[in-house]
Amino acid sequence: MRKSHFIILVLVITLVLFDIDPMFAGPGGTVVKAIFKTWWGKVLMSIIGIILLPLIIYVYFREFLAIKKCKKELLILGKKNRDFSWLNLDKNVRNIFSRVYIAWNNQDLKEASSYISHWYWQNQQLVHLDEWKKENLINVCKVDGIKSVKPLYLEITDDANLEGSRIAFLITANIMDYLKNKDTNKIVQGSSKFDDEEKIWVMEYTDGKWVLDDIQDGQLSLAFAKTKNVIPTNLVPVQ
């Protein structure tokens, strides 16, 4: 393939992936682009997947190494604070994920306020849920099951109880997510079918418990995986 043709191909793929307007729904405000939920969209994704196979393999191994390292360091941190042990973390993250989605589906994040940081709760309620209410829209957002929870990045403080520490998790779940008109019940964005989605949930350890502090798109997983963990050397020795 000539260099000029390759550049054009990359530009086309970039436009498809990033220039199609995302739909706004679900915790965090965005869901998978609509085109990729159609039959042709899945065919397109398959073709793109073949073309970008080397990159996909690279991302997979970078994530695998990051997850492995995070779990190893959490094993040490868990001895200092049980809330950082992997089994407890996994249980808490799944619980928070489920409760936030239930509250979001009910259009009232106040129901899950004890599981969300104050600023993020207000931000999402005002920016998304309250605005949709004004536009007479309802976001139907349900979780059929959480497939995996994986730690990608650690940012640990030197506080005696590790207060203020943050962890980024790559979460894969089977979700139904769409916006509908309240009066007509017509779906205006999204799909009424369950589909696998990948998101990065950033959790913060505050007042002795984990709370949701931010949600990022799953496409940023490589950036998180490549970022070096921030951990005081007195907690986890430099290797």
List the chain domain ranges: 32-226
What does the angle CA 149 – CA 17 – CA 13 come to, to the nearest 5 degrees? 125
Mean pLDDT (the chain) is 84
28 — pLDDT class (breaks 50, 70, 90)? low
pLDDT given at position 41? 66
Give the model's pLDDT for residue 70: 97
The more confident residue out of 193 and 53 is 193
Least confident of 25-39, 67-81, 157-171, 217-231: 25-39
The CATH code belonging to domain 32-226 is 3.10.450.240
Q: 27-51 burial, b for 16+ CB within 10 Å, e for fewer?
A: bbbbbbbeebbeeebeeeeeebeee
pTM exceeds 0.85, yes or no: no
Mean pLDDT (whole number) for 50-60: 80
List, for residues 163-179, the tens digit of each pLDDT value: 999 999 999 999 999 99
Write down the pLDDT at residue 8: 41
Token couple for 185 = 């019940």
